Structure 1
C-alpha cells in the first residue's frame, strides 16, 4: 500500500515539476504567477516519497519511518483540509492512504507481537 501511495504521489508530482500550472488547473485551482514554488513543492513530494521506500520494503527494520509515513499522510489531510480546502482531492488521497496504511501497520504490529 505504501508503494501504491508513492505511485499516486508521483502521478501528480512528476508532471507538476515541469508544468505546475497545468496540474493545478487539472485539480481545480487557478494558475499561479510564480510557478517555481508549486514546482518546488512537487519536487519535495517526490523526495518525501523516496523516504517512504525503506518502510515499504522492511517495516520491521524501519519502524520509525513506517510510523512517520502514516503520520505524514495525516499531516497532508490536515494541510489540505484546514489550510487549502480548495484542493479536497489531495486531502482525500492522503486520507485514503493514511487510514489504509495505518490499519495495515497496526495489523503488522499485532502479528509481530503474536509471532
Structure 2
C-alpha cells in the first residue's frame, strides 16, 4: 500500500524518490495510485480464503504480478525507460514469487486452515 498512498497523496515526492521525471499533468501518477488501490481491493477475498476464491488467488500472480514485473523490466532493460521503474518491477517480482510459493504450498496441502470464522 506504500505505492498507493505515495502515488495518490504525494505524487511529486514519489517520482523524485524513484528518480523519475514528474509527468505533466501529474494526475497520471495519482491515477496510477488509484488503480493500484482498486486492484488491491479485488485481491482481499482471495487473500483471506484462497481455496474459495482460487481463480482470483491465481490471477493475483498470473497475469497480474507476472505481467507487471515483466512490463517494467522490459521497459527499462529493452526500451530505455528510466531506471526508477526497476524498483517497481522488483517489488512486483518479489511479491509475485513469494505469493506463488505460499499459494503453491497452500494448495499442495489441499485443505484450508481452520480459523475462528470457519468453525461456525
TM-score category of the 2 structures, normalised to the smaller one: 0.7 to 0.9
Residue 19 (structure 1) shift: 2.4
Hey, what does 2:41 align to over in structure 1?
Answer: 50
Bigger shift: residues 49-58 or 12-21:
12-21
Q: Secondary structure at the match of 2:110?
A: helix
Hey, what does 1:101 align to over in structure 2?
Answer: 99
Matches within 5 A, 1:17-28: 17-28=8-19
Hey, what does 2:68 align to over in structure 1?
Answer: 76
Larger Rg computed on CA atoms: 2
TM-score of the two chains, using structure 1 as the length reference: 0.84
Unaligned stretches of 5+ residues in structure 2: 112-120
Q: Which residue of 84, 87, 90 maps to 1:89?
A: 87
TM-score of the two chains, using structure 2 as the length reference: 0.80
Which structure has the highest helix share of the two?
Answer: 1
Runs of 4+ in 1 over 3 A off after TM superposition: none
Residue 15 (structure 1) shift: 2.2
Hey, what does 2:117 align to over in structure 1?
Answer: none
